[in-house]
A and B are shown apart, each in its own frame.
Chain A
Amino acid sequence: MTAAPASPTQQILRDSARLLFLALIPAILAGWLHPKRPVWSWSKPGVTEVNLSEITRWSAPLIWIDARSSAAFQKEHVPGAIFLNEDQWEQQLPHFLEVWQPNAKIIVYCDSAACDASQAVALRLQRELNLSSIYVLQEGWASWLQSNP
């Protein structure tokens, strides 16, 4: 007794499963052996990003750090923000330390999501000064402007 031939739909589903499975093999090998494979981690590396609505719920004192260019900072910045970027890190760091408090949350921002200066400044603060409670503002200055037109 021969088995009934699979319907076209069943055949398509079976073939799809085969393709999905076949692609898995080189993908797993790439994750193991590829010289440019991504480094595995459960959470996104770098400093935690937060958005403005989360920040407004915080009760701790906040220290805003502006990691944009000097010209952008001079034009406009978050009220009370401190200017600190890697162009003049040594010159600007003492000013940040004057206002830092152990219970303060530090939020670093730069222009937008595409800008990586805020992550760079935040990571450097973590690494060099061993500070915790450092965050990066999601979407940066662009999100501040959206909420504060």
Chain B
Amino acid sequence: MAAIQPMKTIALWICRLLLGGTFAYAAVQKIAEPTAFATDIEHFRLLPHPLTLALALYLPWLELFCSAAVLARKYEPSALLLIALMCGVFFIALTSAWCRDLDINCGCFGHSNATSALPWAIARSLALGLLALLLFKQSPSVSSQ
């Protein structure tokens, strides 16, 4: 049991770095180009225009704060829960776009960066969400309950 603990700690840190790093990178791309991100959200045709603009400004900063919280291990369970929630929302939006056969960019990592086909983006949002929930379950304040 004692030998497994360091392995488990390392594995959890790798997961944190993956999750926090991915979200931080994605957030920075979108913070740099809010109008382009608003255009990407608009293409999903899910929200009224004013809400699209508000989300394009707010969501990247929430992603950045949550990723910083995960990496700094401050407010970590809350940040992981919010990340899982965001991934759930992305999953629904991307799946909806795929079902409606919309030919759009994911917008996940900024407008003019390498963009992904929708099925791949859907799988990625699911994977990230599950990883966030896994880390949430492993958080000391949660796992001790």
Contacts and interface: CB of A to CB of B under 8 A. Distances in A.
A joins B in a complex: yes
Interface of A: 8, 11-13, 15-16, 18-20, 22-24, 26-28, 30-31, 34, 36-44, 112-114, 142
A83 B104 CA distance: 26
Contacts of B79: 15, 19
Contacts of A43: 49
Q: Which residue, of A15, A28, A142, has the highest number of chain B Cβ atoms within 10 A?
A: A15
B61 A26 contact: yes
Contacts of B66: 19
Nearest to B102: A113
Given A37-B34, A38-B53, A113-B43, A12 B78 contact: yes
Interface of B: 31-36, 38, 42-43, 45, 49-50, 53-54, 56-58, 61-62, 64-66, 69, 75, 77-79, 81-82, 101-104, 141-142, 145
A42 B50 contact: yes
The CB with the most chain A CB atoms within 10 A, among B31, B78, B103, B104, is that of B78
Given A19-B62, A20-B62, A40 B53 contact: yes
A44 B42 contact: yes
Given A114-B103, A114-B104, A20 B61 contact: no
Contacts of B64: 23
Contact of B141 (A11, A16, A34): A11
Given A19-B62, A113-B102, A37 B57 contact: yes
11 contacts: A12-B78, A12-B141, A16-B78, A19-B66, A23-B64, A27-B58, A30-B57, A41-B50, A44-B42, A113-B103, A114-B43
